Structures are given as C-alpha cells and as structure tokens.
Structure 1
C-alpha cells in the first residue's frame, strides 16, 4: 500500500509513476479526493463528539426543566454523532479500497512501457553450439526416464508432470545447492505453508477477488500460493522488527501453484509452464533506505547461482507496465534455451519498498538519525510522532523447477545424455553425467 501522506505531498511523482506503468493518472486525484472526504468526515465526527461531551457535562450539572431540555438536545446530538461516525467509516473504507488497488510507486530509473519495453542490462556466458540436432528438455527428460507428462496428465490433468529418477534427483540437488548458498549469506531456511488466509494473500499485493492465477479452496477460504514470498511476507504481519543489526533474511522452500489461466496454448510442451513446481525464494526485510542496495545483492546472488549451473543468461530491467502491483522495480534473469533459440525467464527479484509492509502492518522503531534526515518526507514526519515506520520487503528466486529446462538443454550430448555442471556434482553423489536409460 502506498503512503497516502507522501502522495499528497508529491502527487506529480505518483502521476509520473502511473504514466510509466501505462495506468490511469486520474487515480492519483481519486485517492486525494477520497482522503479529503475521509478527513472531512472525521472532522465532522470529532466536532460533534466534542459538542456531545460538553452537553453531557452540562446535563450533569443541570436540574429541572433545563435538564430535560438539554437531554433532548443530547439525544438528537447522539443520533448525529452516530451518523457522522458511520459516514467516517464509509469514507475510510472508500479510501482503503482505492489504496488497496493503487500500485506501488516505481523507483527512479525504471523504464516506462510494457512487456517488450524492458532494458537489457547485460548478457553473460557463451551460448553453446552443437554439431547435432538439438533436443528440447522434454525429449531429453524422457530419454533419461526423468519426466513423465503423460502420467502427470492422467493423474492430475494438463500441465502436471512426474519428475523421477535422475531428473528428480537433479531438482533436489539444485534446491539443496541453492539452500546452501542462501545459508552462507545469512538466510534462515524456512519450510513455509502453501495455504494462506485471504488477508495474507491480499496483504502481499495479490487481488484475491479478481486474480485468475490463484487457486482457492472455497470451503476453507484459503489460497494456494504461487510463491513462498506470500507466506514469508505474512510471517511478521502486525509486528515491530528490530533491524538494527542489518536485514532479516529468509529462504523459503515450498511447492508453488499457479492456474496459468492466461496461458492457453502457450508452452504446452514440457515443464516450462506448469501448475505445480518447487521453488526456493529469498525474502528480505530491510530498512527503507537500504532497499535498493539489498535489491542489488539479491540479483548478484541469483547470478551466482546461474554461474554455478553454467548456463548463458541475460539480465533485464523490467518495464513499469510489466511490474506487479507490489513491485517498485524488478530485475529478471533469463536463461538461453537452445531448442527455442531465445531467452526464457528463470529468476526475478523485486524491490517492494514499504508497499507490502504497510498492508501487513510490519514496522520498525525509527532510528534517531533517520528522524533527523526525514525532514520533508511525509512518512518520516508522520512516523516521528509514533516512533515506527514501515520496513521494506524484497524477494528473489534462487532456484525453481524451470531451471531443469536450461540445464538439460545447454548441457546435452549427441546421444541424449546430459553433462552435470561441476558445482552440482557433489549434490548428486559425484555424478558427472545423466545417462540415457
């Protein structure tokens, strides 16, 4: 959720953010109008309450006919106070509804535009050249006896699979290598719930009412997560964190679920786009002024993992119109997929600034030096009175099932076997090659 006080002080900045996203700039004015209506309604209510308190004291001191007259006025005033209170609540909810749907303020430097307007930051690695006909990951997986889409569909429907044998071991090895790396950088390992309450899902920035990508269990009013980011963001909901020693970092290992409702006809072959997959997600809680530096660290750790699996990749700065509701900036790492002759996303890392934390009530005590530097910043000034402020949250993928696609295709041999990247071999008992069965 955005900071409405900051929006009121810098409306043109938010209009520019909306323009870059390709969203309606008029929504800024809608928020300002809703906030003005809320403040006006609260002012009327508080004025009437103060008047009611005065009358109550007068009634207590009055006698006889004077008291009866005052009681009649108090009764009428009580009705007006009740009505004003209800109107203030309606105005507050109207503002909250607008704020819940308003996207995060983008970070300076984010490219404007849509999906195709990203900025290429760099390409890393050398694309492999083959002197034989390249096989795609599904054909390779079937030759290795490791991917069974047919039985996945029989058991669960389209876009489900069984990973077995060496491919199942490959996924577990990849996840363990990612977990070891995360722990080495101070992340706390977490096995997270994959079902969450609607307030947790909404608090993270997902639209539980209109998002067709989310699986819902209606009888229990619970939602299957598409990333452990959701559970990790909700983990410290309504808490005050101590970040004086630095960022608080978690590495969430979970199964993830996505309906892929908008992908009919896309990536129907293999495991590039499936309903269920495994993922290790980095999640950081940091101070607001440290968010961009942490974002750079998350990206570097993702690239470190990509280097370990020895696949060529590129890094892109995602355009504003392709950002989700919560992200202020997002970097994607896309690996080269030889069978398709193009790059496909393997990881992404998002800086959500204080957006999720405000929705979930996650705060920190404000350091004195931060208060001193907050002159002119709405959130800093407002928080000074209560001594807390929102923290920043960031997330980044460190490994997921889709990585198998890039590993199999980039390391394939003419006979269908696949060379195991050196860094992964210790996690596969020293296995150097996945052999055709």
Structure 2
C-alpha cells in the first residue's frame, strides 16, 4: 500500500507504475474517491459541530425556545445518519483501490511485460553430461520406490504426492541444512501454523487479488497460507518497534498450500506444481532506508545461492522485469535450478524487496533515533521449498544404475550416506 499523500502528489508516477506492472487500475478514480471521502468527512464534521452547538443551548433555553432547538438537533442528527452510509461506501471503495495500487518499481529493475523479459544476471555450476540415457524425476522416484502418485491421488485428489523411504529423509535433510545455515547467520527460526486470518493475507498483498490461490475454511473463517511470509509479516502488526531492535531476521518453517487455480494442464506430472509443500522462508524487517533494504536484499539472495551451491546444483539468477515482479515489489530476483529432462532452468527461489508497501498494510512501524515513527521495510526470499527442488536435485545427481549421489554438505544430515537408491 502506498501513502495516499504520495499518490495525490505523484499521480503520474503511480500511473506509470500501474502501466509497468500491468495493473489495470484507474488512479483518477482513486483520487476522485479520495476527494469524495474527504468532502463527506468534512460535511459530517460540520453537521456534528452544528448539532453540538445547538445541543449545548438546550439546557439554558426557555420553555418556548426548547422544542425548536430539540427539533433542529434531531434534524441535524438525521442528516448525519443519512450521510454515514455514503461515507462508509466511498471509504470502502477507496480502501479497495488503495490495496490494488502497486509499489513503485526500482529504476534499476528491467522494464518488461512478463517472464520472457526477465534478465539473466548470473550463471553458476556445470550442467551435467550423462554417458547414459537420463531419467526424469518421476522415473527416478518410481524406480527407487521413493514416491507414490496414483494411490495417493485416489485419497487426496490430483496434484498430490507421497514421498517414501530415503526421499522423506532427503526432504527433511534439506530443510535442516537450510535452517542451520540461517541460524548461523543470525536468523530466528520459527515454525508457523498453516492457518492465517484474512487480514494477514491482505497484509502481504496476496489479497484482494490471489484469492483463487488460497484454500478457505468457512466454518472457521480462516485460510491456508501459501507461504510463512503471510504469518511472519503480521507478527508485529500494529506495533511500534525501537530502531535498536532492527533488523529482525526470521526463518519461517511451515506447510504451505496453493490451489494452483488457472494452471490446469501445466506441469501436472510429478512434483513441479503441487497443492501442498514444505518451505523455509527468509523474512526481514529493516529500517526505512533504501540502501539498508538493498543490502539485506543482496544478503537474502546470496544465502539462497549458498543453499543451491550446497546442493551442488547448476543454477542461474535472473532479475524479474516490472511486468513479472508482482504489485508490491520494488525489486525482485529469482534463482532457477537446471532441470536436465526439460533442458531448462526452473525457479526454486524468489527474492523480493517491498520497502514499506506491506508494513503500511499491517501498521508495523518503529521509532527511529530521532524519535520519528516510520514504517519498516520488509523483504523475503525462499530458503528451501520442497518438493520442487527435489526435481533438479534428483535429475542432476542421478547415476546410470538409478541411484542418486548425495552432495557432501547434505551427507551429515543423512547419516553420512554418499549415495542412495538401489542398483539394478
């Protein structure tokens, strides 16, 4: 959410942000509603002032004067009551448009329409060369009895999966590796529930757009979150922190749920696009300072790269263009790991800086050293998300006999195993 004062004074900049981010929003309509809300509030306040003035005269009025004053006071009260629905409606409409207003992208961000316009900034690792016919991740899983797709789909529906045997241990090992790394870097590791209230999803910007991606439980009026970012972003909602408390670094471990609405027919096979997954999410609150925010953005990205390097996966880093970065982002990078069966890189980590776009929604602030209250900046990035990263992991580390090599950094979490899987 942007400051309404900023929108009033910089409407052309905001309109351009809408254009750059493919956001269909009428800023002139928003400003007109803003004026209407201000006008209605002023009118309401004037009526209340008149009413209070007349009410104050009633006790001192004569018996002859009192009925007319009472009648006038009631008439003004009726006008206020009649005004309220109009004011509330206009205010609600304005609030909706404010929620839809995008953040201003960084001038450093590449301009583009969609992910085809993202810019590669780095490539690392060596693409595997196989002297045998490589399998895709589903074939590797099935060959080693490491997953079940068909039976579990009968129980839990499409895009469900069940990992088995060593693959369950590999998944847990990846999360432990990521959490240990983050704790060593000063992050507070927290486990968060799968559930979140509606206001928390508004707080991150997943709502009002994105409702079709969230599972809703109407009996409890609660949603299943698609990332720990949702819960962590609201942990300090409404608080005024001290500058000395910043930055606050969280590593959120949680089950995640996404309906994947609109993706039917895409990536339906295997582990690429599933409804439930596990994730460790990096999340940072820092001072309201673009340079400070940029510093932490770089650190988040480097940490994710370290994890991918620990897993010995070839990868690349792309900077997302304005049309692909999402409404709330100032700047965004993706880490993409190489998937041999598809001969392409696939996104495994998404690193975002949002400045105060989220904190204005949650009213998360801090008092700086000059005693001024400011909104914090927020940033987030994936540390590890499974099962998706298992796809490049299995395919890049497969061997001719169907077994899979375990990278050195992961071996301590797997009882020292260097290879898993049965030979033919």
TM-score of the alignment, normalized to the shorter chain, above 0.5: yes
Identify which range, 307-316 or 241-250, moves more after superposition.
241-250
Identify which range, 307-316 or 94-103, moves more after superposition.
94-103
Report whether the alignment pairs 1:322 with 2:327.
no
The offset of 1:209, in angstroms, is: 7.6
In structure 2, the residue matched to 1:301 is 303
TM-score (normalised: structure 1) = 0.91
In structure 1, the residue matched to 2:48 is 49
In structure 2, the residue matched to 1:340 is 342
Matches within 5 A, 1:89-100: 89-100=88-99
Question: Would the aligned equivalents of 2:271 and 2:391 in 1 still touch at CA under 8 Å?
Answer: yes
Matches within 5 A, 1:130-169: 130-169=130-169
Matches within 5 A, 1:74-89: 74-89=73-88
Matches within 5 A, 1:197-212: 197-207=197-207, 211-212=211-212
The offset of 1:208, in angstroms, is: 5.7
In structure 2, the residue matched to 1:379 is none
The offset of 1:81, in angstroms, is: 2.6
The offset of 1:396, in angstroms, is: 0.7
In structure 2, the residue matched to 1:364 is 366
Report whether the alignment pairs 1:423 with 2:409.
yes
Matches within 5 A, 1:241-260: 241-260=241-260
In structure 1, the residue matched to 2:69 is 70
Distance 1:431 1:243, change over 3 A: farther
The offset of 1:97, in angstroms, is: 1.5
The offset of 1:293, in angstroms, is: 2.0
Uncovered stretches (5+) of structure 2, i.e. residues with no partner: none
In structure 1, the residue matched to 2:385 is 400
The offset of 1:388, in angstroms, is: 2.7
Question: Would the aligned equivalents of 1:126 and 1:312 in 2 still touch at CA under 8 Å?
Answer: yes
Distance 1:216 1:245, change over 3 A: closer
Q: Distance in 2 between matches of 1:59 and 1:97?
A: 42
Distance 1:55 1:366, change over 3 A: farther
In structure 2, the residue matched to 1:264 is 264
In structure 2, the residue matched to 1:231 is 231
Identify which range, 135-144 or 392-401, moves more after superposition.
135-144
Distance 1:276 1:419, change over 3 A: same
Question: Would the aligned equivalents of 1:20 and 1:111 in 2 still touch at CA under 8 Å?
Answer: no
The offset of 1:338, in angstroms, is: 0.7
Q: Count matched residues.
A: 419
Report whether the alignment pairs 1:349 with 2:354.
no
CA deviations on 1:288-322 (whole Å, 9 max, x unpaired) are 21322211111111111111111111111112222
Q: Distance in 2 between matches of 1:160 and 1:58?
A: 72
Q: Distance in 2 between matches of 1:198 and 1:232?
A: 14
The offset of 1:150, in angstroms, is: 2.1
Question: Would the aligned equivalents of 2:99 and 2:208 in 1 still touch at CA under 8 Å?
Answer: no
2:375 to 367, 384, 390: 390
Question: Would the aligned equivalents of 2:196 and 2:223 in 1 still touch at CA under 8 Å?
Answer: yes
Q: Distance in 2 between matches of 1:255 and 1:324?
A: 23
In structure 1, the residue matched to 2:128 is 128
Distance 1:17 1:209, change over 3 A: closer
TM-score (normalised: structure 2) = 0.94
Question: Would the aligned equivalents of 1:347 and 1:398 in 2 still touch at CA under 8 Å?
Answer: yes
Identify which range, 152-161 or 206-215, moves more after superposition.
206-215
**Partner secondary structure for residue 347 of structure 1:** strand
**Partner secondary structure for residue 211 of structure 2:** coil
Q: Distance in 2 between matches of 1:2 and 1:29?
A: 15
The offset of 1:194, in angstroms, is: 0.2
Q: Distance in 2 between matches of 1:80 and 1:208?
A: 33
In structure 1, the residue matched to 2:102 is 103
Q: CA RMSD in A?
A: 1.8
Uncovered stretches (5+) of structure 1, i.e. residues with no partner: 372-386
Report whether the alignment pairs 1:275 with 2:294.
no
In structure 2, the residue matched to 1:37 is 36
In structure 2, the residue matched to 1:377 is none
The offset of 1:278, in angstroms, is: 0.9
